[in-house]
Amino acid sequence: MRVRRKKNCAVRIAACAHLLITSPESLKADPSAPFGVTRPIHIEIGCGKGAFACGLAVARPDVNLIALERVPDVVCLALERAVAESDKRQADNLRFIIGDAQKIGEWLPEGSVEYIYLNFSDPWPKKRHVKRRLTHPEFIKIYKRLLVPGGRLIMKTDNVAFFEFSLEQFAAEGFEVIRQTRDLGRSPYAAGNIMTEYERSFTERGVPVCMAEAVLSKNA
Residues in the chain: 220
DSSP characters over 118-132: EES-----SGGGGGG
CATH of 9-216, one of 3.40.50.410, 3.40.50.150, 3.40.50.10300, 1.10.10.60: 3.40.50.150
At 57, which helix (H) or strand (E)? helix 51-59
- CA 13 – CA 80 distance, rounded (Å): 8
Residue tagged active-site, from 30, 100, 122, 183: 122
**Quick one: angle between helices 137-146 and 160-172, nearest 10?**
60
Chain segment 69-122, per-residue pLDDT in tens: 999 999 999 999 999 999 999 999 999 999 999 999 999 999 999 999 999 999
Average pLDDT for 174-193: 95
- Tens digits of residue pLDDT in 21-55: 999 999 999 999 999 999 999 999 999 999 999 99
Mean predicted confidence (pLDDT) in 118-141: 96
Q: Say yes or no to pLDDT of 3 above 70.
A: no
Q: Catalytic residue at 122?
A: yes
* Residue 30: closest CA among 101, 96, 114, 108: 108
Whole-angstrom Cα distance, residue 158 to residue 195? 13
CB 148 within 8 A of CB 178: no
User: Which residue type is seen at 145?
Assistant: R
Position 157 pLDDT exceeds 90 = yes
CA neighbours closer than 13 Å in the CB half-sphere of residue 29 = 5
pLDDT at 2: 55
**Position 6 pLDDT exceeds 90:** no
Q: What is the mean pLDDT of residues 195-214?
A: 94
What's the mean pLDDT when you consider all of the chain? 95
Reported pTM:
0.94
Position 7 confidence tier, pLDDT thresholds 50, 70, 90? confident
Q: Report helix, strand or coil for 49.
A: coil
3-state secondary structure of 167: helix
Name the pLDDT band for 8 (thresholds 50, 70, 90). confident
Show the CA angle centred on residue 156, arms to residues 154 and 158, nearest 5°: 165
Write the single-letter amino acid at 77.
L
